[in-house]
Amino acid sequence: MFELPKLSYSYDALEPYIDASTMELHHSKHHATYVAKLNEALAKAPEWQNKTIEELLTSLNSIPESIRTAVKNHGGGHYNHSLFWSILKLNGGQEPQGELAKAIARDFGDFAKFREIFTQAAVGLFGSGWVWLVADAAGKLSVITTSNQESPISQGLKSLLTLDVWEHAYYLKFQNRRTEYAEAWWNAVNWEEVGARLNK
């Protein structure tokens, strides 16, 4: 059975960039629902119940058709949100250091350019989805978007950083102003964790 992961910070830790009400609703209701529905789907295919979330999302084509869409949507929802919480922190922001900073400079020119590309991807994504900084097998970084709860791990990519651009992630505070949400979010990013993911 999958469980809702505990946050390593309080719901108000990311204020004023991400408000406490949004965090509480997003984690305790939205994410919790993905976990519950993933467990519900897996109950119908017990042979898949002991797999990790990574194993499930990299084997979608082998999963019984009757639960495949549910695993893709709710398993993806669980994986994506777990990652999203982990790359945020109290007093986050600033810029990446070390290997990650070098890789960003190598593949995007500089941090400002990377940030602009990522933010533009968030603003331009139609409908509900996610923006990602990913690394391919050779370690090359790129910015991609996915729709709904699709996850780059299903495409064989390593996820380093992600921004949830479903309306439930920002509507309470920012209403339709997705650009303001994306700009504010940079101030809460946990670059140490993003950098550590590069070497995992």
β-partners of residue 131 are 145, 163
Residue choice 11, 114, 132, 166 for contact with Mn ion (CB under 5 A): 166
Q: Minimum distance between the CB of residue 34 and Mn ion, rounded to whole angstroms? A: 8
Q: Indicate the residue among 25 and 45 with the shorter CB distance to Mn ion.
A: 25
Q: Indicate the residue among 101 and 172 with the shorter CB distance to Mn ion.
A: 172
Q: Minimum distance between the CB of residue 64 and Mn ion, rounded to whole angstroms? A: 26
Report the C-alpha gap between 178 and 197 in whole angstroms: 26
Q: Indicate the residue among 19 and 164 with the shorter CB distance to Mn ion.
A: 164
How many helices (H) and strands (E) are present in the chain, helices listed first?
A: 10, 3
Q: Which residues in 168-197 contact Mn ion (CB under 5 A)?
A: 169
Question: Which of these segments, 58-66, 111-119, 166-174, 182-190, binds Mn ion (CB under 5 A)?
Answer: 166-174
- DSSP conformational letter for 199: T
SS3 163: strand
Residue choice 96, 164, 178, 182 for contact with Mn ion (CB under 5 A): 164
- Nearest Cα to Cα of residue 186 among 17, 63, 67: 17
- DSSP conformational letter for 101: H
Q: Which residues in 96-155 contact Mn ion (CB under 5 A)?
A: none
Report the C-alpha gap between 111 and 95 in whole angstroms: 8
Q: Minimum distance between the CB of residue 136 and Mn ion, rounded to whole angstroms? A: 25
Size of the site for Mn ion (CB under 5 A): 3
Cβ distance 147 to 155 under 8 Å? Answer: no
Cβ distance 129 to 150 under 8 Å? Answer: yes
Q: Indicate the residue among 23 and 169 with the shorter CB distance to Mn ion.
A: 169
Question: Which of these segments, 1-9, 68-76, 100-108, 156-164, binds Mn ion (CB under 5 A)?
Answer: 156-164
Q: Indicate the residue among 28 and 59 with the shorter CB distance to Mn ion.
A: 28
Q: Indicate the residue among 153 and 169 with the shorter CB distance to Mn ion.
A: 169
Comparing every residue's Cβ against Mn ion, the nearest one is: 164
**Number of C-beta neighbours around residue 97 at 10 A:** 11
Report the C-alpha gap between 59 and 40 in whole angstroms: 18
Q: Minimum distance between the CB of residue 82 and Mn ion, rounded to whole angstroms? A: 11
Report the C-alpha gap between 9 and 18 in whole angstroms: 13
| Binding residues for Mn ion (CB under 5 A) | 164, 166, 169
